[in-house]
Structure 1
Amino acid sequence: MSTPRNVSFIGLGVMGGPLARHLGAAGHRLTVFNRSPARRDAWLAANPGLAVRVATSPADAADGADVILTCVGNDDDLSDVVLGPNGVFTTLRRGGLFIDHTTASARIARQIAVEARDKEILCVDAPMTGSQIGAEKGTLTLMCGGRPEAIAAAQPIFAAYTQRVVHIGKSGYGQLAKMVNQICIAGIVSGLSEAMRFAQASRLDTDKVYEAISGGAAQSWQMDNRWKTMAADEFDFGFAVDWMRKDLGLAMDEGRALGVSLPITALVNQFYAEVQALGGGREDTSALVRRLPLPGRKR
């Protein structure tokens, strides 16, 4: 690895927790902060071998850091931990590096970039794809927005948990690329859900169907990683429906601003609202199939 740095990570959730672990395991001097003490304590208990400092606030996490990373819930959360009165930009040194892995709006990414420029902080918006599995294995793909010098400075940090880093363009472009990603996923999971129910209603062996079609034009990451669990009605893992609805809302808001029609995305977003109404808000996005009951089977 590169020279160890003073690295602080804010947000120890499903995606952020594994990333923080990879950074500590890579030899960086790690500080963590999470607004929920219970989640922080659970992460500490799950990683007893890591030498880690626990910060008392975002500002405390950034104090003395070379690099600070965030992976929080939404625009409001991000604004609070970065730009708030006790946020990281109150203490992060000039010349420091700020990396955001939250899936958020392009607007907040651009706002943070402007504040960072005024404080002479290098800034990267770097939303992720690759799922919880990729976070655990350290094989994520990042789509990044920011100045070239900021991307270059971030590369040694990214090396701890990624297999691909793509510099999309200026600040906010990483978030726009993530919206493209989520639009694609929404359509794929919707089609996969209908295909699953069709196969089951036809009394086909779903394992054999997967064997037959997964090597051809129908193949996708979603099929490879979710077909079997959908067939088994297993959804207690992965990327939550609640978060997908948040992401699709961001994409549709941006689409309206651009004058781009996203009718399929809007339709699938409403399908996900049905899954939420069924109590599946915290289930994996593949729970979309739940809204399509088989004949004779309740949802």
Structure 2
Amino acid sequence: MAKLAFLGLGVMGYPMAGHLKAAGHEVTVYNRTPAKAEKWVAEHGGAAAPTPREAAQGADFVMSCVGNDDDLREVCLGKDGAFKGMKTGAVFVDHTTVSAAVTRELAGEAAGHGVAFVDAPISGGQAGAENGQLSVMCGGDQSAYDKAEPVIAAYAKICRRLGESGAGQVTKMCNQIAIAGLVQGLAESLNFAEKAGLDSASVVEVISQGAAGSWQMANRYETMAKNEFEFGFAVDWMRKDLGICLKTGDEIGASLPVTALVDQFYKEVQAMGGNRWDTSSLIARLRKLG
């Protein structure tokens, strides 16, 4: 069992850190809002630290799951950043969805501190985090990945190394690109069924058994039909991720017309007040259009 630090106790990080403690690891947590860290300790045991640096001291592995590029830079490189507290030979595992550029930047900074860096963004949503069934896509040195993979296994359904630093983040972009078009297609299909006077449950029962079937259809069609959107990844975060995808697409010359269109649809959902609705709320936009 390892000595670990976990930085960031949001809807994903909170249960992920819990799985690490349940697996028998020694876990110290840090959260920007200290009360959240104290609540986690009361529930799971372990310890809380007031800064990333103090949380990371003596840890074999430091895991992070924060908001965006700037948040990640701050917990790594800030005045009390984790890199200043990490011992030589430790491994930093970042589960945040950020740009590949900041990942490569921080991997270089980590190396200067004698620390390995693995980018390990995740997919599976809040339910996946709570059930320990996340898909984890990694980039970084093979040796660092080999050390980290048994620890990540505490909350992973699948964990794979896709290449050098940044490869995990680029793979997460592929994931979000695929999801964007799929959710819009599902929203259009269900809205079409409603307009045609069909029973959506009956439609889904049939088409889900063929080529149209998907995780989104199986897990979101009922709540979409009820206009309920409190069950997953928030629109604000999806737009952040799609922005990364579109910027990277421009940089590498990859055309993303559907992704760009769906990003604008999510912008319209935000204008409807749906910033914190889950991504299936694309159907609410279609219903508003009439």
**TM-score by structure 2 length?**
0.97
Percent identical among aligned pairs is 53
Q: How big is the shift at 1:236?
A: 1.3
1:108 equivalent to 2:102? Answer: yes
SS, match of residue 279 in structure 1: coil
1:244 equivalent to 2:208? Answer: no
In the alignment, which of 115, 123, 131 is matched to residue 129 of structure 1? 123
Residue correspondences, number = 290
SS, match of residue 8 in structure 1: strand
Map of 1:7 onto structure 2: 4
In the alignment, which of 86, 89, 98 is matched to residue 95 of structure 1? 89
Contact 1:100-1:127 within 8 A present in 2 as well: yes
Q: What's the RMSD between the two structures over aligned residues? A: 1.3
Q: Gaps spanning 5+ residues in structure 2: where?
A: none
Query: Where does 1:210-289 land on structure 2 (aligned, <5 Å)?
Result: 210-289=204-283
1:65 equivalent to 2:62? Answer: no
Give, as a single letter, the amino acid of the residue that structure 1 aligns with 2:199: D
Cα deviation digits, residues 193-222 of structure 1 (max 9, x gap): 111111111121111111101111001111
1:86 equivalent to 2:80? Answer: yes
Once residues 146 and 185 of structure 2 are traced to their aligned partners in structure 1, the CA distance between those partners, rounded to angstroms, is: 39
1:25 equivalent to 2:33? Answer: no
Once residues 176 and 277 of structure 1 are traced to their aligned partners in structure 2, the CA distance between those partners, rounded to angstroms, is: 29
Once residues 258 and 196 of structure 1 are traced to their aligned partners in structure 2, the CA distance between those partners, rounded to angstroms, is: 35
Once residues 289 and 268 of structure 2 are traced to their aligned partners in structure 1, the CA distance between those partners, rounded to angstroms, is: 18
Map of 1:162 onto structure 2: 156
Once residues 208 and 163 of structure 1 are traced to their aligned partners in structure 2, the CA distance between those partners, rounded to angstroms, is: 31
Once residues 165 and 81 of structure 1 are traced to their aligned partners in structure 2, the CA distance between those partners, rounded to angstroms, is: 24
Once residues 183 and 237 of structure 2 are traced to their aligned partners in structure 1, the CA distance between those partners, rounded to angstroms, is: 15
Q: Gaps spanning 5+ residues in structure 1: where?
A: none
SS, match of residue 154 in structure 2: coil
CA pair 294-116 structure 1, distance change in 2 beyond 3 A: closer
Once residues 103 and 79 of structure 2 are traced to their aligned partners in structure 1, the CA distance between those partners, rounded to angstroms, is: 18
Q: How big is the shift at 1:30?
A: 0.8
Once residues 110 and 249 of structure 1 are traced to their aligned partners in structure 2, the CA distance between those partners, rounded to angstroms, is: 18
Once residues 63 and 43 of structure 1 are traced to their aligned partners in structure 2, the CA distance between those partners, rounded to angstroms, is: 19
SS, match of residue 138 in structure 2: strand
Once residues 14 and 65 of structure 1 are traced to their aligned partners in structure 2, the CA distance between those partners, rounded to angstroms, is: 23
Once residues 42 and 239 of structure 1 are traced to their aligned partners in structure 2, the CA distance between those partners, rounded to angstroms, is: 23
Give, as a single letter, the amino acid of the residue that structure 1 aligns with 2:31: N
Give, as a single letter, the amino acid of the residue that structure 1 aligns with 2:88: R
Once residues 174 and 64 of structure 2 are traced to their aligned partners in structure 1, the CA distance between those partners, rounded to angstroms, is: 21
Map of 2:202 onto structure 1: 208
Please state which structure has a larger fraction of its residues in helix.
2
Contact 1:12-1:34 within 8 A present in 2 as well: yes
Contact 1:197-1:294 within 8 A present in 2 as well: no
Query: Where does 1:146-161 land on structure 2 (aligned, <5 Å)?
Result: 146-161=140-155
SS, match of residue 69 in structure 1: strand
Give, as a single letter, the amino acid of the residue that structure 2 aligns with 1:40: A
Once residues 162 and 236 of structure 1 are traced to their aligned partners in structure 2, the CA distance between those partners, rounded to angstroms, is: 24
Q: How big is the shift at 1:146?
A: 0.3
Contact 1:72-1:102 within 8 A present in 2 as well: yes
Cα deviation digits, residues 34-86 of structure 1 (max 9, x gap): 002343344445x2xx2211101010111121111000000000000001221
Contact 2:41-2:47 within 8 A present in 1 as well: no
SS, match of residue 233 in structure 2: coil
Once residues 23 and 295 of structure 1 are traced to their aligned partners in structure 2, the CA distance between those partners, rounded to angstroms, is: 46
Contact 2:30-2:37 within 8 A present in 1 as well: yes
> After the TM superposition, which of the residue ranges 99-108 and 192-201 deviates more from structure 2?
192-201
Contact 2:38-2:48 within 8 A present in 1 as well: no
